[in-house]
Amino acid sequence: MLRRVPLSLLRPGMFLHAIEGSWLSHPFWRRRFLLRSDSDIAALRDADIAFVTIDTTRGLAPIEEPEPIIITEPVVASGPTGITAERERAADIVARTREIIRGVFEGARLGKAIDSEQVAAVVDEISGSVQRNAYALISIVRLKSKDDYSYLHSVAVCALMVNFARHLGLPDETVREFGLAGLVHDIGKMDVPSEILNKPGRLTDEEFAIARLHPERGCAILGRAEAIPATAIDVCRHHHEKIDGTGYPFGLKGGEISLAARMGAICDVYDALTSDRAYKDAWSPIEAVTAMHGWNGQFDRDLLFTFYQSIAVFPVGMVVRLRSQRLAIILSNGRRASRPRLRVFYDTAANSLVDPRDIILADDDACKTVIRAENATDWGAHDWPALCVHLLQESDKLDRDVIARLWAGVETTPGETVEMPTSDRVSRWRPSERLD
């Protein structure tokens, strides 16, 4: 049961559920935690807090019962709002947070300790916007200029991490920690010369070696600050590790890389790909996820699919199962808006092909409607490589007889992969070349 109690009734062993007042008015990083000692209570007193909410199912109850005030649910921010309403508000948040992050990062370059409360407040602002509408702020920060990249990349990765963590159903406190980790993951770049970061062409081996020091440099900067959660340091240190062990700085593999760092790697690369950089133009969201999907060994595949759901963008050619139990293939949107365009072609309940029908999912529908990735060969597609190419054509070129023949056609080599159509600039790109 949640109870609002005055500070005078607090004692070690109680579980703190909420502190009244703003985030900035209290000294704790965590919003919910067990009061372990008198010094925790003294810190609350010093912060001039009069009342808190405790959870008596997770800790001790007051000895002297206060006037009972039963709180049914924690207070949450206002519910989802439309993207148009949120865009204006998000633009304002982006403008303000860019200046705050610029100050924090420039201060770090000069050896100043990070003010953890200041960055935590930025996380709250970004998180609030993502909660009201997941896509407004994310779509605004994607359109950053090259000059703004350093600071707005941090804001973007923070927003993507918050949104991703929510889709995974992580607790609020973890969502905020992951958001903060996204915000500061690249702070070590403040110690990398801008001539290297902004070099338009290929980096020399020596320049690469310097750029690759940024995770460790970032950890050193974060280590000077007080109350930075371990998750932030972990993501800062490991966001360039890859699932197959070919990343840096340690070459960690699979489960050796934490959930937060695996998520951070996905958000970091997605934002880098969809941004204008000195060495490449911005790719569209669908181009970015299609390329990322093809880079075997770089990312956690299960997490990658949840990430697609969280941003409502899926790779071209991916087969997905919809809540209607039909299979659909993701079509290309070119460089247009990110809404997924799908072509439904199979009914798993009836085990039969259906006449192809195109649908466009509204952003908010995508995460609810697309329930999982599927392999068409598991459902009986015999010549999927050829059928996939046929299904990706313009709708007026589709032929029911061809589809039926390819579905039931001759056996093909198991595991044969399909080459997805990509633009020249995407197919020319090699992820090992440069992505920082």
Calpha distance 260→266 (Å, rounded): 10
For residue 225, which amino acid is it?
Answer: A
- Residue 427 makes CB contacts below 8 A (sequence gap 6+) with none
Closer residue to Fe ion, CB minimum distance, 216 or 347: 216
Burial zone of 38 (CB within 10 Å; 0-12 exposed, 13-18 middle, 19+ buried): exposed
Closer Cβ to Fe ion, 186 or 271, answer by number:
186
CB of 435 to Fe ion, least distance (A): 9
Q: From the centroid of its chain, how far is CA 362?
A: 20
Retrieve residue 95's tokens.
Answer: 């403008």
Strand order in the sheet with 51-55: 33-34, 15-19, 51-55, 2-6, 70-71
* Residue among 177 and 186 whose Cβ is closer to Fe ion: 186
**H-helix or E-strand spanning residue 91:** helix 83-109
Cβ atoms of 221 and 245 closer than 8 Å: no
User: Closest distance between Fe ion and the C-beta of residue 132, in Å?
Assistant: 29
Tokens 């020399």, residue located? 204
Among 182-190, 314-322, 364-372, 410-418, the segment contacting Fe ion (CB under 5 A): 182-190
**Distance in Å, CB of 141 to Fe ion, minimum:** 17
Among residues 273 and 342, whose Cβ is nearest to Fe ion?
A: 273
Q: Residue 312 in contact with residue 338, Cβ under 8 Å?
A: yes
Shortest separation between residue 212's beta carbon and Fe ion, angstroms:
9
When the beta carbons of 262 and 326 are compared against Fe ion, the nearer one is 262
Reduced to 3 states, what is the DSSP secondary structure of residue 401? helix
Which CB atom, from 397 or from 430, has the smaller least distance to Fe ion?
A: 430
Contact 130, 162 (CB under 8 A): yes
Task: Compute how many residues bind Fe ion; rule: CB under 5 A.
Answer: 1
- For residue 280, count CB atoms less than 10 angstroms from its CB and return exposed for 0-12, middle for 13-18, buried for 19 or more: middle
* Chain position whose Cβ is nearest to Fe ion: 186
* CA 356/CA 345 separation, integer angstroms: 5
Nearer to Fe ion by Cβ, of 269 and 328: the residue is 269
Q: Which amino acid is at 138?
A: I
Which range in 115-123, 179-187, 381-389, 415-423 contacts Fe ion by CB under 5 A?
179-187
Please report how close the Cβ of residue 153 comes to Fe ion at its closest, in angstroms. Answer: 9
| Residue 382: C-alpha distances to residues 55, 125, 345, 408 (Å) | 57, 51, 15, 6
Q: Shortest distance, CB of residue 19 to Fe ion, whole angstroms?
A: 34
Cβ 179 vs Cβ 230: under 8 Å: no
CB of 72 to Fe ion, least distance (A): 43
Which residue lies nearer to Fe ion by CB, 125 or 186? 186
Tell me whether residue 135 is exposed, middle or buried, using C-beta atoms within 10 angstroms of its C-beta: 0 to 12, 13 to 18, 19 or more. buried
Question: In terms of CB distance, is 265 or 320 closer to Fe ion?
Answer: 265
- Shortest distance, position 91 Cβ to Fe ion, whole Å: 26
Rank residues 245 and 409 by Cβ distance to Fe ion and give the closer one: 245
**Closest CB 310 distance from Fe ion, rounded Å:** 21
Pick the piece of the chain touching Fe ion (CB under 5 A) from 5-13, 130-138, 178-186, 305-313: 178-186
Give the interface segment with Fe ion, choosing from 77-85, 129-137, 180-188, 279-287 (CB under 5 A).
180-188
Interaction of residue 186 with Fe ion, rule CB under 5 A: yes
Find all residues with CB under 8 Å of 236, minimum gap 6, and list them: 181, 184, 185, 186, 187, 188, 215, 218, 219, 222
Q: Which amino acid is at 342?
A: L
**Least distance in angstroms from the C-beta of 188 to Fe ion:** 7
Binding site for Fe ion (CB under 5 A): 186
